Every structure is written in C-alpha cells, then in structure tokens.
Structure 1
Amino acid sequence: MELIKFLTFLAAVLPVAYGAPTQASSNLHPKILAAMKRDLGLDAEQATARVARDLWASDVIEQLRTTAGSSFAGAWIAEDGTTLNVAVTDEALAAEVSAAGATPAIVANSFSKLEDAKLALDNMDIEQPKTLATDAAETGIAAYYVDVAANKLVIEALAGSVAHAEALAAQVGLVASEFEVKTVDAMPTTLATVLGGDAYLINRASRCSVGFSVTTGFVSAGHCGTAGSTATTSSGASLGSFSASVFPGSADMSYIRTVSGTTLSGYIDGYGSGNLPVSGSTASATGASICRSGSTTGVHCGTVRSLGATVTYAEGRVTGLTQTNVCAEPGDSGGSFYTGAQAQGVTSGGSGNCASGGITYFQPVNEILSSYGLTLVRA
C-alpha cells in the first residue's frame, strides 16, 4: 500500500499538462527537443513533461501488472500523452488502478489470453497456400500483435490474405470479437546498410550501424551479420567480430565484441548536432513518445504503437519487436531508438518513408542485454 500511495502522489505532482514547467528541462538533448517539436508539436517544456510522464507510466504499469495478475489486460498512454490507461478484466481492481494514478478500463480479454493466441501463431506455419483465387492479388501476413487499447489481436495482411488471416485467428481459438484483420499495402523489409550511431562495415563490404555501446563491445541488428563476421570502421580499422546474432526467428539482434583499445561511448551519434546521452534502458509503454536516429533521415520522433509484434520479412518471421509510427528509410537500419535518455532498441525494419510517413519496428535493447549478459555503457 505504501507503494500505491507513493505512485498516487507522484501522479499528482508530475505535469499532467504539457505546458507545466519541470525541473528536468535540461535533461533532453537539444536535438531530441527539436525532433519532438517537429514531429509531435511539443515545445521544450511540453516535451520534457511528456518524457517524464512516459517513464513514470512504465513504473506504474509494472506495479499493476504484478498486483492484477491474470486479470491484467494491458496498458497504454492516450494520444494526448497525459492519461495512462490500464485495462483489467476484474472490475473489483478498478479502484486499485485509480489509486495508482491510472485510468481503469474494464475489458473482456486478459492480456495473457491474447498473448497466448499470438504465441500460437508464432509456432504455426502461416504461409498461405497458392490458389487460383489468390493469384490476382498479392498475399502475405505482414505482422501481428496484441492491440491493448482495442483488446484484440491484430493481424496485418495484404489484400489477398485477409481471409487467410481470419482463418489463422480461428485456428488459435479466437472469435470475431477477439481479433481484427487490417489490410496493408506492402510487406515490411529490413533496412539494409543503415547507420543509427557510428557506421561500421561487415566483412569489409555491407554497412550497418552501432546501436548502443556495452562494456565489451556494441549491439546492433541481427540481420547485419552472423556469428564470426568481422566488423571494421568505414576507414578499415578493426573493431572486432560478431560474437552472436539472431535473425530471423525470436529476435533481430546481434552482439559485436570489440578488440582491445576500442573506446566505447555511452552516447548516440548526433551527426553534427552534438552527441545524445544514454542514461539507462527503462522500456516505454504503448503510446509513449519515442525517437530514432539514423544516418539517412537524421532524427525523427513519434509514438510506440504496440509491443511484442511479430513481423514477416522476406527472410522469415521475427517475434518480439516493437511497432512505432516513426518513419525510417534504407540507410537508417540498426539505428538507436530512445525515449529521452533511455535506450529502447535498435531499428529492425518497416515500410513507408519519411516523406509520406511509415511504420518502423525495433528490437528491444533489454532483450539483447539479458540474452547475452551485457551491460549498457551510460553517459
């Protein structure tokens, strides 16, 4: 109960309106502030308040996830950035949600039920058999994820695979009210030869980017290289080699162990506008603000759309990615995703561009750190 009281107090004193001043206005790098102003329409005080509340929301969600147990049905930050919604299936928990500073939503499906259905899809062959009926339209299941705000499993599919997506949902035990099929125009692709932090070459040929420094090297996207591949600077100096890599499958992540004497910095390359500090890796919630840095399009911001998405690339499915509405283009892959100074992940792939907008997925950095036993270098 003491924690609940503290969280209630914290919710009251944190700015609930973007215009409220904060003491942390100097904590966000000017380049982050500029990107959030351009993409989210927030001035410096509003952006600082938004990031502070996003990080507060992550703590509250974890607290309520534990106390609600099997009745927990997900959480999301509203589009205005000021309201944290926490869904539960047991109406008796509404008061506890409110006491923690969040807005309760009573829904029919628990998060675990929908997540189990998604995991069942992960373990199935979802490729659509070719028939005469599908020859005229492009087919493919682009991605699927739990939409906590809709309290449904969402399956994104090309026009020729809508019926197939509906059949897949039925196979994993979902009825019509528990899933939604959304039609998309194109399949996601990995964004090859991308720079998010500093550029590096794989086997002195293809190019990718440093995601975040760790105490023994750096992490990046798994599709950049395989175990044993060499990593060098753009000028050809040896950095080290890929110690581990996963792609496709359960992740799009890699760990490059660097050679002795390599300087590992706890910053993101700002490409002429100063370096962006990394101070931790607290994961952001659905609806939270988030930014991405990449060498092709620079810094762009948006919001988190869903967690734990499964994405279908030409190389195969990848599970556990985070979906955002931040744009990216070829040359941005592997770049750093971050909320404020909190590392979030490395750019995996997506669709669209920064002229018309797009969807970009990233591999959460905390999974990389835990999987390989790594420690993030902090500024």
Structure 2
Amino acid sequence: MRRSFARRAAVYGSAALMLLGPAAAIAQADPAPIEATALPNELVEALARDLQMSPERYLTDAARSQELARFAESAREKFAAVFSGVWLDPEGTPKVGLTEGEGYDTAREAAEEAGFTVEDTDRTETQLRDELKALNDWLATQPPAVADLVRGVAIDVVNNDVVLRTENVAGIQLPNFLQGARVLFAPAPLVPEPAAGELQPVADLAAPQALFGGDAYAALGAGEGLRCSLGFNAVDGSDRPLNITAGHCDPNRLSAGTQFASKVYQLIGEELGQHLGTFEKTRLDGHDYALIRPTGEAQSRFENNGVRVPLAAPLTITGVAEPVAGAPACKSGIRSGYSCGVVTSVGQTVDVGHRILEDGFSTNLCALQGDSGGTIVTGTLALGISSASNVGQFGMCEVAGVVSGLMGEAPELFATPIGVILAENPGLRVRTW
C-alpha cells in the first residue's frame, strides 16, 4: 500500500493546491452576518477552552479567511508569477504571500487595497508545486524500504515549503535538491466506534424530532455495527434530503446504493431508535465521504441546517467555506462534542489506514473514535467531514493532548473538504435553510 501511495501521490499531489479554485465556484452566496450571541453555549465554551478565543473573534477570523480564499482564486490567474498563497496568522491578520518578480508591485497593491498584509516569500506557489512534483518523482524511484515509509505529502503555505509525512522521521534521507522539505510524523486512521454488543432496534424508543450534524447514528451492514456522527444535512438536485458523513462509517461500502446497503439507525445511548435510512453512495479511497438517504418516514427529521453537540441547541449553517491555513475550525462529534483549533494545511495527500486521502485539509484539533463523519465548521460555514486523527484511540481529549505533547506532537484531525464533495456530486447542496 505504501508503494501504491508513492505512485499515486505523483499523480495527485502536484495539483493539490489547485483545489481552492474549483471549490470557490460551488460555494454558496455570502450569508447575512451572524451575531456572536447566536452561537451555542457549547461552541463558545470550546472556543474559550481550546483557542482562548471570543465568539466575536471566531466569526471575524472565519469571514476573513473566506475573503482570502476569494482573493487567492483571482491571484492565481492575475499574479501567478509572484503569488505564493494566503493564510491567517495567529493574531488573525490576513496574509498574502508574494515573491519578488514581474507584477510584484501590482499584486502587493491589490492585496493591500483588499485589506491584507503582504508577506515576502522565497518561492511562489508554482515553484512549490514543482518541488512537490520533484518529491513525488523521487519517491517513485525509491526502493520499498524507503517508499514504504512515506505516508503523505503537502505544500505548507505558511512556512513556504513542502512537507513529507512518514512513519519513521529518522528513516528518510532526502536528496540534496529536496533538503528544504520538512519531514513530519504521519496520521493514524480515525476509526468508527464498534458496537459494544449486538445492536437491535427498539421499536417504541422515544426520540426528538430533528436530527442535526454531530448527532449519533449506528450503521449496520455485513454483520457489523459501527457508531458514528451525522454530518451536514443536504439536498440533492431534486431537493430530496440527504446527510453527508464519512465513507469509512459504512460497514458494507461495496453495496452502497443497492438493496444490500448498510442501514442507518438513530443511536440513543446504547439503544437503536428509528431506522433513518441507508447509505446511497460511499467513497473511501481518495475522498472519504458517504451520502445517507433518509427513509420516507424519517426524511423530515433531516430538513434543517443545524450542527450541534448531541441534544444541545444547534449552530445554524449559513453557507460553505474553503479551507484556508490559519482559519478557525471547530468539529462536532458524539464522543468529544465540540473541539476547536485552526486549519494547519490544505491540499493534503496522506495515507491513513490503507487508504489514500487526497485534497484534504488538516487541523490541530482533537477527534476520537465515534466522532467519525461529524461536521467541521468555520464560523457558521460548512468546512469539512472528519476523516482521520492521530489521537483517535484515546478516551478523552484531555488525555490525548497530554500524551501527544509528551511525544512531541499535537492532536491533528484530517478532513475531506465539503467543497470537494459538492463538486463531485452535481446538484448536491448543504442545507442553509
């Protein structure tokens, strides 16, 4: 599988950052401003705990990140010779990276007129993509003893360099022309939580009406039961309800969309409630997502645009966002509720648990088993679906933070951008009403 990654990364990795362009085309219209007081208490508490950030700052930074994303889309065409990327710094300052060259002054003026701060960089985005391609080409020539160590490649716009992820940092010796590439540890899969025992539906189990992103569900198929978190409520091209969750939450992926597709039930504590639907489409390798089609009896429960900690007040989703480095990001899931961090990298290609996650983004927030498939938001915008974590095996985020810190690491969650999923499924829309 590692050898497969080295070959496939050469195909996909060099174009990873181009994902920002197409995603902008499918983003929904700018929503009306949301007041900070409208954020759920649980989210406000997570922002203060994890980021020491006020709700006002959270909403402001999220909005600024999307202004940067729109500027980047234009800059890649107008200023390709000098443009090196966009990001928010830790103080929330919107940054535009530029490299000396033809058009630099014009690009700088455009960035500053838009209210951004220009950061001088050594390499353009084009040069970084070329370096990433050189890394991929080099990996494709290496023997399995070297290539099998590689678990991911990406461009880091903040540090203006290329990142290589590996299981054994000390085992990689890069050639001289790639000495600028940084080497980091690889992520681990974020696996669904297996059922503790045999799950059986309880016909008369009471349940609240509406179901939101972050609520619990159980997927039953191929003799296996998995516990996961619902993702964003959505509609297809015919305005029929769907839920967007993780592909690895489907225990019978090959049968998605058929009469043998895995069934989805509401999970209430340790009991199964209503049969909610089936997996209509599942994708795992490449992009990790699945579409749940509600039953006729349950579809009205998905007709909302909320995300929440289970059984709490929901956050209203008002649109779709692109991942931008430094943007605040918060996830919701059944095991650890809300946790917040920032986007640390975009355009990731990583190997997680014998599958390749392409076009993904990473964050420095905690996610545990059972949080799989849950929502990631920035401000009130849908950002991504939880896919892989390096601390998923721990029982609590507090423990995960301490243990990973002792190992010289930090919690890290990888995700599939919601824009990628929408672009791959024409007519699919995240509910904003």
TM range, smaller chain: 0.7 to 0.9
Structure 1 residue identity aligned to 2:113 = A
Paired residues for 1:366-377 under 5 Å:
366-373=419-426, 374-377=428-431
Structure 2 residue identity aligned to 1:106 = D
Alpha carbons 1:141, 1:161 under 8 Å: kept: no
| Closer/same/farther in 2, CA of residues 119 and 332 from structure 1, 3 Å limit | farther
| Closer/same/farther in 2, CA of residues 256 and 151 from structure 1, 3 Å limit | same
Instruction: Give the structure-1-normalised TM-score.
Output: 0.80
Alpha carbons 2:187, 2:388 under 8 Å: kept: no
Cα deviation for residue 23 of structure 1 reads: 8.1
Structure 1 residue identity aligned to 2:117 = T
| Closer/same/farther in 2, CA of residues 187 and 377 from structure 1, 3 Å limit | closer
Cα deviation for residue 130 of structure 1 reads: 3.8
2:264 corresponds, among 232, 252, 265, to 232
| Closer/same/farther in 2, CA of residues 376 and 187 from structure 1, 3 Å limit | closer
| Closer/same/farther in 2, CA of residues 190 and 99 from structure 1, 3 Å limit | same
| Structure 2: tracts of 5 or more residues without a match | 1-32, 195-211, 236-240, 402-409
2: CA distance between counterparts of 1:39 and 1:343? 20
2: CA distance between counterparts of 1:161 and 1:237? 51
1: CA distance between counterparts of 2:377 and 2:329? 6
Paired residue for 2:122?
A: 108
Paired residue for 1:220?
A: 245
2:214 corresponds, among 194, 197, 207, to 197
Cα deviation for residue 141 of structure 1 reads: 2.4
Structure 2 residue identity aligned to 1:203 = L
Structure 2 residue identity aligned to 1:287 = G
Paired residue for 1:365?
A: 418
1:175 aligns with 2:175: no
Alpha carbons 2:309, 2:334 under 8 Å: kept: no
Cα deviation for residue 256 of structure 1 reads: 2.1
2:292 corresponds, among 217, 241, 256, to 256
Paired residues for 1:53-72 under 5 Å:
53-72=64-83
Cα deviation for residue 88 of structure 1 reads: 4.1
Alpha carbons 1:37, 1:47 under 8 Å: kept: no
| Structure 1: tracts of 5 or more residues without a match | 1-21
Paired residue for 2:153?
A: 144
1: CA distance between counterparts of 2:37 and 2:69? 22
1:36 aligns with 2:47: yes
| Closer/same/farther in 2, CA of residues 119 and 370 from structure 1, 3 Å limit | farther
Alpha carbons 2:213, 2:232 under 8 Å: kept: no
| Closer/same/farther in 2, CA of residues 231 and 351 from structure 1, 3 Å limit | same
Query: What is the DSSP-based 3-state SS (H/G/I as helix, E as strand, rest coil) of the residue aligned with 2:413?
Result: strand
Paired residues for 1:276-287 under 5 Å:
276-287=315-326
Alpha carbons 1:33, 1:47 under 8 Å: kept: no
Q: Which is worse superposed, 187-196 or 36-45?
A: 187-196
Cα deviation for residue 102 of structure 1 reads: 1.5
| Closer/same/farther in 2, CA of residues 54 and 291 from structure 1, 3 Å limit | same
Structure 2 residue identity aligned to 1:148 = V
2: CA distance between counterparts of 1:35 and 1:126? 46
| Superposed CA offset, 1:288-315 (max 9, x none) | 1110111111111010000011111122
Structure 2 residue identity aligned to 1:180 = R
Cα deviation for residue 187 of structure 1 reads: 4.2
Cα deviation for residue 154 of structure 1 reads: 0.6
RMSD: 2.9
Paired residue for 1:296?
A: 335
Q: Which is worse superposed, 114-123 or 59-68?
A: 114-123
Structure 2 residue identity aligned to 1:105 = E
Paired residues for 1:51-90 under 5 Å:
51-88=62-99, 90=101
Identical aligned residues as a percent? 25
1:349 aligns with 2:388: yes
Instruction: Select the structure with the greater relative contact order (CA < 8 A; seq sep ≥ 6).
Output: 2
Alpha carbons 1:75, 1:87 under 8 Å: kept: no
1:246 aligns with 2:271: no
Q: How many residues align?
A: 342
Cα deviation for residue 115 of structure 1 reads: 3.1
| Closer/same/farther in 2, CA of residues 222 and 118 from structure 1, 3 Å limit | farther
